[in-house]
Structure 1
Amino acid sequence: MADTSISQAQPVTVSLQDLISGTIPFEKLTEAFGPSSLGIIVVKDLPSDFEHLRAQVLSNSSYLAALSQDELEKLESPQSKYLVGWSCGKETLRSGHFDTLKGSYYVNCAFYQNKELQSAPAHDFPDFPQYTAPNIWPPTEKLPSFRSSVEELCSLIINTAGLVARACDQYALANIDGYQDGYLEHVVKTSLTTKARLLHYFPADSASSETNQETNEDDWCATHVDHGCLTGLTSAMFIDESLHQPSSTDPTTPLPELPTSPDPKAGLYIRSRTGEVFKVNIPKECLAFQTGEALELITRGKFRAVPHFVRGAKTTHGKIARNTLAVFTQPNLNEEVQPGKTFADFAKEVVDRTY
């Protein structure tokens, strides 16, 4: 991608308090999600514990990836098509191309509804282990804070997503014929299928990262759309693992974070609804929410899924890892996203073509 084609986006930003009070003007939501938008909104002024939780959870992504191959294999779930627990090299985002540049840790967020639940109930969908296989957690002696910090941060993100959903419902009710009042907030607050994905983009040496960027603008995560409703995103954490080796650091302590990306071109890119490509920076103290395919179906195209990709960091020194967390809020398996098509039907189509 040529430098002249890179534009820095200024996404719509709202405060958490304005979401709570329900005072976000429709003009803001149109700017965020309307026909010429980027389909993304940033929320600031988050609860006081957010920044610490983000630092610990994203550090845990590096601590996790530093475990031995044998230990990581014990955290895999082939029965769920690797959509629970650890996954690396199982996903195809380009035809015939398996993604080995990042590792993922998938978590079912049914605990948001009931702390005892670790997946959606299997009795109604026995052949859908992607959402009904129980969570796998790393052993506490290896990663003592992993489970508690992930559950706390995911719950905070889902709470915030519910407020964004409430604002979207108000907008949709006024602009979409036949829209079901309160539907999106209902999806977020009652779903047993919300899925979190903790990501670790492995450090690349300078030669391979330069080669990749000469050929692929989306070398770290190919252009795709999410298949849920609203995706909650933290900002990325960049860590120089040559200076701070996760395998020799206390895993209860957040790793030192680079103040900025080592490569200003690295990070999240969105392809707007007018076909332009914009780089999006999420401030460290904020969350972002973007639209997915299920929401596009539900709103009959008024809200559209956001094509996006991640571009890797070109580095001349160090071993730079990138960690982030995405939380995909989505309907329960038996809810319709189109007449005659449940979310289970739709999600199976997506999984079959991707994994």
Structure 2
Amino acid sequence: MSGHVNGRITTQHPVSVSLEELRNDRTPFSALEEAFGLCSLGILIVRDLPPGFIQLRQTLLSYSSYLANLPQEELAKLEDPESHYLVGWSCGKETLKNGRYDTLKGSYYMNPRQTPSYKRRAQELYPNLCEYNAENVWPGHDVLPGFRQSFQSLCDLIIDVAALVARACDRYAAEKIAGYQPGYLEYVVKTSVSTKARLLHYFPSTASGIDGNTTDGDEDDWCATHLDHGCLTGLTSAMFVDEGAHPPTRDKTDKDLPALPELGTPPDPKAGLYIHSRSGQVIKVSIPKDCLAFQTGEALEVITKGEFKAVPHFVRGIAPGMGGKIARNTLAVFTQPNLWEKVDEGSDFATFAKGIVERNH
């Protein structure tokens, strides 16, 4: 890894591996240790992705702006209160660390893997965990044509790559951890119907700053510092869109929604993803547009008996008044074990996740 300080920002380039290395089981253990180990940032970049990835990313992240700018009556149809708003559209339902409801961003949640036999098992064993068991909610084709297909296609690609990262972790764990079950993490990533995708839209900041965008004294107010509680979180790079210059509204005569022009860099250089390093530094990391990143979660830390550490991270928004009506769109796919899979000797994932949620709230 290399790092430098730019003003008050410390930036660092995460470890990267090629997709071909992962496919051929040639990822060095040293790279995994540097990416996920005790002294790491807990993040790995995967480069040289399939040719269609770049277009698929731009298409889906453009949909994030189109979706968030739908009329409120359309968005209300996409809400699912029974799943605690963890399926479909969610905005203003979660709280930030200061206790205010989060209206800074909108989210569209989807369960990307729906294997019928596993889905039935989850519903039968855990009928009250609707956030994992609810059916997906989709806008009509007349509202957002092509949205469902693009969302599913990009999630499938990310999960397929996550499975290869998991296989590399399995190889490492089988050699380094006594009693580790060979192939367990790859199995979890490939088969789980608990995996959750979250398409995010950070709304443009307001000049008054009442939207909660960050200040020097409260850098993580937009998305408070947290740990993911799954195994591996797949992330696209963020897409910044000038919604003032390119309004994300649909012409009803359009059969398909055009991809929105993407800004080369955010107008606020401090905006982006930050990680709390093991040494106590706050590090800004960037994901190249043609790559995916994978972060470590708490379930992975437990499954690997602490060999791979979960990463504390947060998102810093664009400061008010910088750059006009700029939105930030991104996608996170949280690969999580099936609810009945064991995370440690005493807990299945349902119990493990419930404990984390209760601890954090």
Deviations 1:250-309 (A, max 9, x none): 562111110111111100001112221110100000000000011112122221111000
Contact 1:194 1:330 in 2 (8 A): yes
Secondary structure, in 3 states, of the residue corresponding to 1:212?
Answer: coil
Distance (Å, rounded) in 2 between the aligned partners of 1:284 and 1:120: 38
Distance (Å, rounded) in 2 between the aligned partners of 1:235 and 1:93: 23
Given the alignment, which residue of 4, 11, 36 partners 2:39? 36
Secondary structure, in 3 states, of the residue corresponding to 1:8?
Answer: strand
Distance (Å, rounded) in 2 between the aligned partners of 1:258 and 1:278: 23
State the match for 2:85 in structure 1: 82
Distance (Å, rounded) in 2 between the aligned partners of 1:119 and 1:241: 42
The structure-2 alpha-carbon separation of the partners of 1:339 and 1:275, relative to structure 1 and needing over 3 Å to count, comes to same
1:302 aligns to 2:310 (yes or no): no
The structure-2 alpha-carbon separation of the partners of 1:286 and 1:94, relative to structure 1 and needing over 3 Å to count, comes to same
Secondary structure, in 3 states, of the residue corresponding to 2:27?
Answer: coil
Alignment of structure 1 residues 4-153 onto 2, 5 Å: 4-94=7-97, 96-111=99-114, 113=115, 121-153=122-154
Deviates more, 1:170-179 or 1:29-38: 170-179
1:141 positional shift: 0.3
The amino acid of 1:240's aligned partner reads D
Contact 1:230 1:289 in 2 (8 A): yes
1:77 positional shift: 0.8
1:36 positional shift: 0.5
Identity of aligned residues (%): 60
1:93 positional shift: 3.9
State the match for 1:292 in structure 2: 297
Contact 2:302 2:343 in 1 (8 A): yes
State the match for 2:265 in structure 1: 260
The amino acid of 1:287's aligned partner reads L
The structure-2 alpha-carbon separation of the partners of 1:166 and 1:117, relative to structure 1 and needing over 3 Å to count, comes to closer
Distance (Å, rounded) in 2 between the aligned partners of 1:266 and 1:19: 31
Deviations 1:27-85 (A, max 9, x none): 11111111100010000000011011101110011000001111111111111111100
The structure-2 alpha-carbon separation of the partners of 1:93 and 1:292, relative to structure 1 and needing over 3 Å to count, comes to farther
State the match for 1:178 in structure 2: 179
Alignment of structure 1 residues 179-258 onto 2, 5 Å: 179-208=180-209, 212-248=214-250, 252-258=257-263
1:124 positional shift: 1.9
Secondary structure, in 3 states, of the residue corresponding to 2:153?
Answer: helix
Distance (Å, rounded) in 2 between the aligned partners of 1:313 and 1:303: 32
Distance (Å, rounded) in 1 between the aligned partners of 2:119 and 2:93: 23
The amino acid of 1:69's aligned partner reads Q
Distance (Å, rounded) in 2 between the aligned partners of 1:119 and 1:273: 41
The amino acid of 2:22's aligned partner reads L
Distance (Å, rounded) in 2 between the aligned partners of 1:55 and 1:14: 22
The amino acid of 2:180's aligned partner reads Y
RMSD: 2.1
1:340 aligns to 2:342 (yes or no): no
TM-score (norm: length of structure 1): 0.94
The structure-2 alpha-carbon separation of the partners of 1:26 and 1:46, relative to structure 1 and needing over 3 Å to count, comes to same
The structure-2 alpha-carbon separation of the partners of 1:119 and 1:17, relative to structure 1 and needing over 3 Å to count, comes to farther
1:206 positional shift: 3.5
TM-score (norm: length of structure 2): 0.92
Deviations 1:296-330 (A, max 9, x none): 12122221111000001124342010000000001
How many residue pairs get aligned? The number is: 352
Unaligned runs of 5+ in 2: none
The structure-2 alpha-carbon separation of the partners of 1:89 and 1:36, relative to structure 1 and needing over 3 Å to count, comes to same
1:214 positional shift: 3.8
Secondary structure, in 3 states, of the residue corresponding to 1:246?
Answer: coil
The structure-2 alpha-carbon separation of the partners of 1:106 and 1:247, relative to structure 1 and needing over 3 Å to count, comes to same
Deviations 1:175-223 (A, max 9, x none): 2222111111011011111100000000012441797324420132111
